[in-house]
Amino acid sequence: MDAPAPAPRLAPGDPIIRVRDLVVGFDERVILDGLSLDVKAGEILGFVGGSGTGKSVLTRTILGLVQKRSGSIEVFGQDLDKASDAERRAIEKRWGVMFQHGALFSSLTVAQNIQVPMREYLDLSPTLMDELAALKIEMVGLKPDAASKAPSELSGGMIKRAALARALALDPEIVFLDEPTSGLDPIGAAEFDDLIRTLQRTLGLTVFMVTHDLDSLASACDRIAALADKKVVAVGTMDEMVECPNAWVQSYFKGERALARMKG
């Protein structure tokens, strides 16, 4: 009934991530200018945009890896600028991140990678930690023998799955996925979408997913946000995106129109 953790300061219906008037830039170049976005609790939000428009930059800014120039970011109803170190740590424990290139620690095995956040935050016996790592490995669809492999011994798809397993190590409430299906074959990508859907349902996750993959958007995402001209120009379901007048959104979803119609 109340299985996903009720966030202390989050009133029901409030967005779990709220970004307002965000400005981010490097040197003279402004990448994001006045961007606002809400992510609702329990949804899978697909985030699209052309290559190099700043999708990864937005993700990294929300995560606090890139400095913003102005604007505000609230996660779990808490302004990240005003959070103390302890509060930040508490928030970091409640989100999981899968980086665009996996970012697995190269000197650790897959199982050890998954156990890194567990060691940091939890008090568990080694046996239980091994079991939990094995469980996560199986949940993301890796074979059990992957546990003892080094990241350099994994294929591209396996790296994605291992990175997802690590992102899920602490049963987070939000997971950020940066292009989870890029570089996977269509069947593998579809499986990955199903996996994210299933995990979202069983674990009650909120998923923020950056993707270029129209199939992912159509099959896995509840809502879609489109980034163009340094802002979020459209947010909505697949059908609403197809209706959106913005030129970039039009050209992106045009090919998908037939498919969306068929579904509708």
Partner 1 sequence: MTQTLPSPGFDITRNGEVAIIALSGEWTLDHGRRLEEVARQLPEQLGDARRAELDIGGVGRLDTLGAHVIDRLSHDLGSDGVRVEVRSASPLHRTLIDAVKRRGLQVAPQRKSRFVDLLSDIGRTIVNFGHDLVRGVSFIGEIVVAIGRALFRSSRFRWASLVNQLELIAFRGAPIIILITFLVGCIVAQQGIVQLQRFGATAFVVDLVGIITLRELSILLCAIMIAGRSGSAFTAEIGSMKMREEIDALRVMGLNPVDVLVVPRILALIIAMPILSFLASMAGLFGAGLVAWLYGGIAPDTFLARLQGVITAKHFAAGLIKAPFMALVIGAIACIEGMNVQGSAESLGRQVTASVVKAIFMVIVVDGLFAMFFAAIRF
Ligand X SMILES: Nc1ncnc2c1ncn2[C@@H]1O[C@H](COP(=O)(O)OP(=O)(O)OP(=O)(O)O)[C@@H](O)[C@H]1O
Nearer to partner 1, 144 or 186 (CB): 144
Q: What residues make contact with partner 1 under the rule CB under 8 A?
A: 1-5, 8, 90, 105-107, 118, 121-125, 127-128, 130-132, 134-136, 138-139, 144, 148, 150-153, 168, 170-171, 198, 201-204
| Contact between 113 and Mg ion per CB under 5 A | no
51 binds, among partner 1, ligand X, Mg ion, none (CB under 5 to 8 A by kind): ligand X
Could you give the CA distance from residue 230 to residue 61 in angstroms, rounded to a whole number?
A: 14
Nearest distance from residue 208's CB to partner 1, in Å? 20
Nearer to partner 1, 67 or 106 (CB): 106
Nearest distance from residue 108's CB to ligand X, in Å? 25
Could you give the CA distance from residue 225 to residue 131 in angstroms, rounded to a whole number?
A: 37
What order do you get walking across the sheet with 29-40 strand by strand?
29-40, 15-26, 70-75, 78-79
> How many other CB atoms are found less than 10 A from the CB of residue 94?
17
Q: Which of residues 27-56 bind Mg ion (CB under 5 A)?
A: 56
SS3 of residue 133 by DSSP? helix
150 binds, among Mg ion, partner 1, ligand X, none (CB under 5 to 8 A by kind): partner 1
Q: What is the widest separation between alpha-carbon atoms in the chain?
A: 56
Nearer to ligand X, 13 or 52 (CB): 52
Taking the CA atoms of the chain, what radius of gyration do you get in angstroms? Answer: 18
- Distances, alpha carbon 171 to alpha carbons 92, 154, 167, in Å: 12, 24, 8
